[in-house]
Structure 1
Amino acid sequence: MAHVEFAHWRDQEIKATALARTNGPLTEMGRRFLALLDAELQQWAAESVPTGPLDRANAATADRLVSWRLLRRPEMADIDRLAQAWRAHGEVPAPSGTVRLTFDKSAAPHRTNPRIALLYVLLEDPARMEHLQANPAELGSVDANASAADVAFVMGRFEEAVTGYLRQISEDGGDDFTWSGLALAYERQAPASPASLMLLAHPEVVRAVHQRVARQHGDRIDPIALSGWLQHVTTVGD
């Protein structure tokens, strides 16, 4: 637990200070503050973390990042053009190759990430995790939105997790954590594939096109196939 917590928050601190340094002009006090943080973080970066806990920490960091990206809201005119192009079975037209985004602060989730909640159960009480795997009806005791797909992901059964997340999306469209779970699990199953890269980089675009086609035409789309088709789409405003 200590190794995972340390590596997870160390990585987030490093990313946050790098972002602060490049996200606009700083006051003299701000520059001094970042210099102090950098000095401390350099010492943290030199600390060794075992491979197993480090991998889990990296997965938790990636999970937070992809889930955060899903708070961005695509311009619906851009999504409409992409949805129409998909329905026409053609390539993405050049004018539709860029999607404008805005960040919706009001959409920030007010609940925990079920996978991170389950990760803490695994680290603190492995016997309880074994019990939950055998009794999925009790997952609500950890997180009201935890699913069998989340358990599969935390336990490293990524193909099973992908299947579960795809089923959830097919049934009800999926929430932010379902889509981020799909992106993360599919990356483990098919790393560096066009669909995987698109799901990780722009999950909000994939989800928006998927939902638009489903709502307007009732079509059931394979999110993986859609992600690969959208691989050349870029975004602005993020």
Structure 2
Amino acid sequence: MKVYQVLLVEDDGTNAGVIINLLERYNFLVTHVTDGILALSRVRFKEFDLIVCDIMMPHLDGLSFIEKGKEFYKQTPVVMLTSAGDKEMIVRAAQSGVSAYLLKPVTAEALFEKIAPLLHLSPDSLIDKKLFPLHLDYNTPSLTEIYMKIEGIPWRKDKGRIFESFSHFLAGRSFFTDLHISIESHFFLDGKALPILEDFLIGLAQKTKIRSKNIQIQSAYLKSLGTSLKEYDCLRDVFII
């Protein structure tokens, strides 16, 4: 299972919102910027699986970004957003190595038809988050222990839901010392899963007196990340098995 990293370069908020919603319904994480200069700053320091770029933008247009940025993103496929009247731009884009063109306004069918061959997507490659809604379950084998199970994939409004659910569960409980969290692998098919977990642990530290060493997270995926968790202070300090 993979989360595909997409750089979206689009100054029109409506068009950008449509594309982000279409992609992030599945296992894509979209980084959105509004002009070519910002896009250049991203490709210099981060690798992407796909770039989706508009042509006409302020400061640095899409074609200029492609011409200047290809030394950084190298073999990353680029889908150019175009309008029906952009024929001259399309010719210039073809000469710059654009992989495909997508006519605006963007539809789901057209978008996935273009990107599927570029990313070598099979029917099993895409995970529809609507089919795996976030579900939280709790068990208390003793007065001082809480077992928490996280299933499904967080999406859109689920960012603060874990902490809200846990806070509701804690209502009326006076004390606990140990928290055991089991996380299903599908959870990490959302590109924001790690920040969501980090925010939950930060909120937990602020609301309760539990110590990091008494929080145990069972997740093969988290364990495989090892030192990659160093930017997440709370996740780094808990016990991961």
TM-score (norm 2): 0.25
> Bigger relative contact order, structure 1 or 2, given CA contacts below 8 A and separation 6+?
1
TM-score (norm 1): 0.26
Structure that is richer in strand per residue: 2
Structure that is richer in helix per residue: 1
